[in-house]
A = this chain, B = another copy of it.
């Protein structure tokens, strides 16, 4: 291919190809650097790549969802110079009762759960960038869009580290008016092969 990538995207692509492990035909494990063990220089490359794409948009806040989005969003936020809010999956004594809620359907569990953000941490005048690790069915980002819409804030866009473009998330989100920018798109995981 004649496509050239920035050094940061190349770092990420190489990590996926070198360290990614394929389970079945649709699961890519990148837990050596992205969502169990965290490789900080790779997270910095990811943060810079998001800033490279979204940095001109005058973002006020980054929204992500626990658990896997948190480290990505926190490191990326250093380039945007904005706070992060992460949507919570569980009610706890530490969460305000006054929250905006979004629904997320889990295909693996066959059920819908709620994600929540305390109302005080999203303001109507804010421009919000959504970041997450994976885009597959798009449910988490849809849930975060619901939260942003309820708050009256503006969703500036969504960035994901890895899009599994053989799954329908990007199309579904596009139909809702959300353009997703994926740093790396995976076209197939068939036969244990990672095809970028």
Contacts and interface: CB of A to CB of B under 8 A. Distances in A.
Interface of A: 23, 27, 29, 31-32, 35-40, 43-44, 66-67, 70-71, 73-75, 77-78, 81-86, 88, 92-96, 108, 117-118, 120-121
Given A66-B66, A71-B71, A93-B23, A83 B40 contact: yes
A8 to B, nearest CB: 16
A38 B118 contact: no
Name, among A31, A44, A70, the residue most crowded by chain B CB atoms within 10 Å (CB to CB): A70
Contact of A77 (B38, B88, B96): B38
Nearest to A72: B74
A84 B71 contact: yes
28 contacts: A23-B93, A27-B94, A31-B94, A31-B95, A31-B96, A31-B121, A32-B121, A35-B94, A36-B95, A36-B121, A37-B118, A37-B121, A38-B73, A38-B83, A38-B84, A38-B85, A40-B74, A40-B83, A44-B78, A66-B66, A67-B67, A67-B70, A67-B88, A70-B71, A70-B74, A71-B74, A71-B84, A92-B108
The 8 A-B residue pairs with the shortest CB-CB distance, nearest first, are A71-B74, A38-B84, A37-B121, A70-B70, A37-B85, A40-B77, A66-B67, A70-B71
Nearest to A62: B38
A32 to B, nearest CB: 7
